Amino acid sequence: MKSGRLDFIRKEFPVVETTKDYREILKDKGINAVVIATPVTTHREIAEEAMFLGKHVFVEKPLALSIEEAESMVYTSGKLEKKLAVGHVFQFAPAVMKIKELLKKKIIGKVLHITSTRINLGPPETEVDVIWDLGPHDYSIILHLLGESPWKVNSTRNEYPFGTSNKPGSKTKNRLTNNAHIDLSFKSGITAHIHLGWLSSNKMRLMQIFGTEGTLVYDEMLALDGKLKLYGKGVDNRIKNKASDSASLGYNSGEITLIQLEQHEPLRLECQEFINAILFDKPIINNGIIGLEVVKLLETSSESFTKS
């Protein structure tokens, strides 16, 4: 951490001790848990060292640089009986929590397909591409909502000169993936399409979940009271009608309902859940297992590309 950030923390929180050496924290026996918000290339080393020194660990997304590293972290967590949480903060977003509840109640019937669009301008200097930067959010949300991992991943991409690398940890100059379309297929029959992009300043965070009895539309960019809408099954009188009736035939969206959401700060709730999991030995929904599954999808979608 740069000294300027430490100076800021000392000024804002004068009772908080600071250090430039993270091992001072790990060796402090009075500390039972740590949060690791460092470059992904360092996650495994710091997290496993922390667990071996008796700490529970909260790691920012993505969990690790590779499947091998993520598997090692999950194994170490289980072996040492230490909690391992991953910073998939959208699992704690009010809209996502409500969608999970509504899907369990089968409000839209059987889920058929999910689309998700996550677009914004890319960071000016980066060693990771758009998939590793934005993908963890959509992957963690979809895995959390469906409770299953896809068996098939197909991707198409656009590349433009940007940043320093197209693989985390690489120092070689290369062309980064700035725009990606990823298709997921699940054994349950559900499909999903994810569009990730760094090409527009028109920031979008839009997810639609289509079911046999309706559609849930989640727009994270809207105010809380408009983020989540339920579209009814709709009315279509064109089916099994005569061509002579064409003037009166048509369809409409059916009833549209604004879903009321609980007002809370996702990051605060995520941190509180981590603390409660430690204090009361409770399971964590953003645990190392889902973190590992997200890393698997990140690697798989990066490797399964077809250039467009």
Give residue-wise pLDDT tens across range 288-307: 999 999 999 999 998 765 55
Residue 93, Cα to own-chain centre: how many angstroms?
11
Higher pLDDT, 236 or 97: 97
Closest listed residue to residue 111, CA positions, set 221, 186, 61, 181: 186
Q: Is 84 within 8 Å of 292 (Cβ atoms)?
A: no
pLDDT value at residue 161: 56
Strand partners of residue 56: 33
Check residue 210 and give left, alpha or beta (phi > 0: left; psi -120 to 50: alpha).
Answer: beta
Range 103-132 average pLDDT? 92
pLDDT at 169: 46
> What is the rounded average pLDDT of the residues 198-225?
96
Dist CA 51 CA 83 (whole Å):
9
The predicted structure's pLDDT at residue 211: 97
Cis previous bond, 62, omega within 30: yes
Residue type, 60: E
**pLDDT given for residue 171 in this prediction:** 43
Q: What is the pLDDT of residues 63-95, one digit of tens each?
A: 999 999 999 999 999 999 999 999 999 999 999
* Confidence category of residue 242, pLDDT binned at 50, 70, 90: low
Which architecture does CATH list for 90-264+288-297?
Answer: 2-Layer Sandwich (3.30)
pLDDT in tens, 147-201: 999 999 998 877 765 544 444 444 444 567 899 999 999 999 999 999 999 999 9
In the chain, what are the domain boundaries?
Answer: 90-264+288-297
Question: Residue 127: what pLDDT?
Answer: 74
